[in-house]
Amino acid sequence: MVMVKTIEALQEAKKLLQGTIGFVPTMGALHQGHLSLIQQARKENDSLIVSIFVNPTQFLEGEDLDAYPRKDEADIKICELIGVDILFMPTVESMYEADELCIGAPAVRGYVLEGEKRPGHFDGMLQVVMKLLNLSGATHAYFGKKDAQQLALITQMVKNYFLDVNIIPCEIVRDEKGLALSSRNVYLRGDEKERALCLSSALKRATKLVISGELDVEKLKKEMLEVLSEADRVEYVAIVSRDFKALKKVEIGNTIILVAAWVGKPRLIDNLWI
Ligand code: PAF
C-alpha cells in the first residue's frame, strides 16, 4: 500500500494503477461498516483507493469537528490488511483555498430532513466528494445506504455534472443487536448503547406493520415515535419516496423510512428501504 498526503503524490501513485479504480471516501475511525465498503470495492475492482479526510466544510458551527473520532494509526493498518493500493490522507490546506467556487445542494432534496436540520452540511459534503471523485479518477465509488440522503445527492451530482463514475450503494452494517454502525457510536456511554437500539427497533416495528398491511404514513410514524421514546430527543421520523418526496401511503419498492435522534452525546441516524 502507498500512503500519500499530497495531491502531487496521489497523481504520481495513480500512474501505477491499472484497470477499474474502486474508491471509498471516508472520514476515518474505520469500523465494520467502512470495512464492508472497502472489501466490496476490493473484490469488484482491479485497483483500490481509500481516502481518510475529516472534511471541515460539512460540519456546521458548534458540531463535533474537533471532537470527531480520529484513529489514523489503526486505520492505516486496516487499509494495509485489506489490500488498499493507495491510501490518500490529505491536509485541509491541500484540499481547499480561500474563496472557493462552491457546489450547492439542490434547493428541495438538499434542504429536507438532514438538510433542514444541518443546513449547509450537504453543500460541504458535495464539495469534497466532487474533489475526491476527480482526484481519485474512480470508475466505481462506494457509499453506504445509512447516509441515504447523502447517497441520493451524490448520485444526483454525478448525473447533473456528467461525472464519469459509477456510484455503488452499499447495505447498512449493524452490530449483533441491530445498531447501525457509525463512527459516532463510540460516544455512547452506559445505558445509551441499549437505548440507541430504539432507532432500529422503530424501523423494525414499521416493517412489521407494513408487512401486516399497514401503509398509512401517519399511523406508522405514530407507532415509531412510541418506540423512539427511549431516545433523549427525536429530530425526525420520515417516510418518503426514494427521491425524498413526501408520501401519504408507503409504496413498496419506492420508500425510505428514516429516523434521526439524540441518545446521550451523539446524534444518530438510521433508515430502511422498502
Ligand atoms: O460519509 C462520509 O463519511 C462523508 O460524508 C464523506 C462521503 C467521506 C465526505 O466527507
pLDDT for the residue numbered 258: 98
DSSP-assigned beta bridge partners for residue 24: 50
Per the structure block, which three cell numbers stand in for 131?
Answer: 474533489
Residue that has been written with the C-alpha cell 421520523 in this structure: 237
pLDDT for the residue numbered 65: 96
Q: Which of 24, 36, 129 to mutate to test the pocket of ligand 1 (most atoms within 8 A of CB)?
A: 129
DSSP assignment string, 172-241: PPB-TTSPBP-GGGGG--TTHHHHTHHHHHHHHHHHHHHHTT--BHHHHHHHHHHHGGGSSEEEEEEEEE
Share of the chain above pLDDT 70, in %: 100
**Region of residue 258 (left: phi > 0; alpha: psi -120 to 50; beta: else):** beta
53, HSE (Cβ side, Cα atoms, 13 Å): 30
pLDDT for the residue numbered 200: 98
Q: What is the tens place of the pLDDT at every residue in 19-51?
A: 999 999 999 999 999 999 999 999 999 999 999
Give me ligand 1 centre to Cα 129, in Å.
7
Give me ligand 1 centre to Cα 197, in Å.
23
Residues of the chain with CATH 3.30.1300.10: 183-273
Q: Where are the beta strands (DSSP E) in 6-131?
A: 21-26, 47-52, 86-88
Residues in the chain: 274
Q: What is the tens place of the pLDDT at every residue in 67-92?
A: 999 999 999 999 999 999 999 999 99
Q: Does 223 contact ligand 1 (Cβ within 6 A)?
A: no
pLDDT for the residue numbered 101: 94
Angstrom distance (rounded) from CA 80 to CA 13:
16
Residues of the chain with CATH 3.40.50.620: 2-170
Q: Does 257 contact ligand 1 (Cβ within 6 A)?
A: no
Q: Which of 23, 24, 26, 71 to mutate to test the pocket of ligand 1 (most atoms within 8 A of CB)?
A: 26
CA 264 to chain CA mean position, Å: 21
Ligand 1 atom with least separation from CA of 58: 10
pLDDT for the residue numbered 4: 98
Query: What's the average model confidence in pLDDT over 59-69?
Result: 94
Q: What is the tens place of the pLDDT at every residue in 174-203?
A: 999 999 999 999 999 999 999 999 999 999
Query: What's the average model confidence in pLDDT over 54-59?
Result: 98
Q: What is the tens place of the pLDDT at every residue in 211-267?
A: 999 999 999 999 999 999 999 999 999 999 999 999 999 999 999 999 999 999 999
Output the residue whose Cα is nearest ligand 1's atom 6: 26
Query: What's the average model confidence in pLDDT over 114-121?
Result: 96
Count Cβ atoms below 10 Å from residue 49 Cβ, excluding itself.
28
pTM of the model: 0.96
Give me ligand 1 centre to Cα 125, in Å.
7
pLDDT band, residue 55 (cuts 50/70/90):
very high
Tell me the fold of 183-273. Pantoate--beta-alanine Ligase; Chain: A,domain 2 (3.30.1300)
Contact in structure between 136 and 183 (CB atoms under 8 Å) = no
CB burial of residue 265 (10 Å; 0-12, 13-18, 19+): middle
Tell me the fold of 2-170. Rossmann fold (3.40.50)
pLDDT band, residue 144 (cuts 50/70/90):
very high
Angstrom distance (rounded) from CA 66 to CA 47:
32
